[in-house]
Amino acid sequence: MRVNAGLEGIVVADTEISHVNGEEGQLIYRGYDVKQLARKITYEQVVHLLWKGDLPQQKEEDSWTKIWKEAYELTEEWIEFLKIIPKEVDMLSSLRSILATLDEPASPPTMAQAIKFLVSVPMIIAARYRLLQDLSIVHPRKDLSFAANYLYMLRGEIPSTAHVQGLDAYLVLTAEHGFNASTFTARVVTSTESDLISAIIAAIGALKGKLHGGAPLEVADMLEEIREVNRAEKWMREKLENREKLMGFGHRVYKTMDPRAEALRDVVQKNAKNEPWFQFAVQTEQIALALLKEYKPHRQIYTNVEFYTAAILKAIRLPKELYVPTFAVSRTAGWIAHILEQANHNRIIRPSARYVGCKDKK
């Protein structure tokens, strides 16, 4: 019996939600290339695509928007609960605690229930963040988009168009990515006929692991430590000489440039090309790629999404402690899409293991 560690290369299900083509550097949502989607649609529209199979038509747009507007409600019960959570409890653990108190939706949930659950994630994160900063909580506005509302609830002021566009592109590009660890976790829980809330809480637990959701934070730390372009080569050489990784480069699936990184780079260039931080990030990327080619000539290593995630979240002035929680905000759409698909074609997920322990103890 052959064991594929980490289930690498094992196909466990058919899916119509997304396709990750690692050889050609392509990511497709329901037939659409994400690089094209990031340039022209909003997060609300990509949620419609992931959950319902296609982009909303003109006649559907008004009713779809209405459901979103009606979903925004930050309850006093949540606020009181958030106030009693100790400050040392991290953001994702706080989020799981509040989500566990929500009313259980139908199985499978209605679109209205799913959207209400989805918008609760940024509302809880923003409220928790402001409480930790000793700031008054900002309630959502029904006249703002999903991305604009998130920034508004964090800052207490209407965000700029450039910041909203930057965040929207990030949310679209990271909403879904196949059977990654957190998504697979959500499908496993769903396969037992458990509820949506339990599946999402389990997925958040997987996302909390540093091997899954924390890479953009490490990229930001790396760039802040380098600080200046003229320090980049020396700093990176020392890392490579010590056989350490350069964060933001290389991907387990993509054998060429991560298409999400390419799209995010274009978005940042459009909205923040004159900012010194962006120029620094681009120049540092080029130095890193040259050094990786020098030190690892037999491996082609490219920029991944985490590098430009750090760049774009920095450009829109998002605090570093919100990088991973914001990933949870975006990926909740993909988790729910997979929960719905698993529930509609369900069989309990129950792989086998090869026993390698002793068999003859007395």
Cβ proximity of 17 and 30 under 8 Å: yes
Cβ proximity of 53 and 32 under 8 Å: no
What pLDDT is attached to residue 262?
92
Same fold, 29-214+320-344 and 217-316: no
Q: Tens of pLDDT along 34-51? A: 999 998 999 999 999 999
CATH class of 217-316: mainly alpha
- Write down the mean pLDDT value for the chain: 93
> What's the first-to-final CA gap in the chain, in angstroms?
27
Domain extents for the chain? 29-214+320-344, 217-316
User: Cis link prior to 108 (omega < 30° from 0)?
Assistant: yes
Cβ proximity of 101 and 81 under 8 Å: yes
CATH class of 29-214+320-344: mainly alpha
3-state secondary structure of 104: coil
Q: Is 212 a catalytic residue?
A: no
* 16, two tokens: 């119509």
* Per-residue buried b or exposed e for 282-307, using 16+ beta carbons within 10 Å of the residue's own CB: bebbebbbebbeebeeeeebbbbbbb
Q: Is 177 a catalytic residue?
A: no
Catalytic residue among 251, 285, 338, 341: 251
Instruction: Give the global pTM.
Output: 0.94
- Sole residue written with tokens 């699936």: 253
Kindly list the distances between the CA atom of residue 236 and the CA atoms of 214, 230, 241, 248, 289, in Å, as whole numbers in the listed order. Answer: 20, 11, 8, 12, 10
Please give the backbone phi and psi of residue 54, each rounded to the nearest 5 degrees, phi first. -155, 165
SS3 of 173-237: HCCCCCCCHHHHHHHHHHHCCCCHHHHHHHHHHHHCCCCCCCHHHHHHHHHHHHCCHHHHHHHHH
Q: Tens of pLDDT along 122-179? A: 999 999 999 999 999 999 999 999 999 999 999 999 999 999 999 999 999 999 999 9
- What radius of gyration, in Å, describes the C-alpha atoms of the chain? 21
What pLDDT is attached to residue 212?
84
Kindly list the distances between the CA atom of residue 76 and the CA atoms of 73, 83, 235, in Å, as whole numbers in the listed order. Answer: 9, 11, 49
Of the candidates 23, 127, 135, 27, the one whose C-alpha atom is nearest the C-alpha of residue 85 is 127
Catalytic residue among 176, 262, 285, 306: 306
* Per-residue buried b or exposed e for 254-278, using 16+ beta carbons within 10 Å of the residue's own CB: beebbbbbbbbbebbeebbeeeeeb
3-state secondary structure of 64: helix
**Structural element, H or E, at residue 11:** none
Please give the backbone phi and psi of residue 32, each rounded to the nearest 5 degrees, phi first. -105, 135
* 158, two tokens: 């209407």
Beta strands at 32-33 and 18-21: parallel, antiparallel or unpaired: unpaired
Report the 10 Å Cβ neighbour count for 108: 17
Q: Tens of pLDDT along 82-133? A: 999 999 999 999 999 999 999 888 788 889 999 999 999 999 999 999 999 9
With a CB cutoff of 8 Å and minimum separation 6, the contacts of 63 are none
Q: Tens of pLDDT along 177-231? A: 999 999 999 999 999 999 999 999 999 999 998 888 878 889 999 999 999 999 9
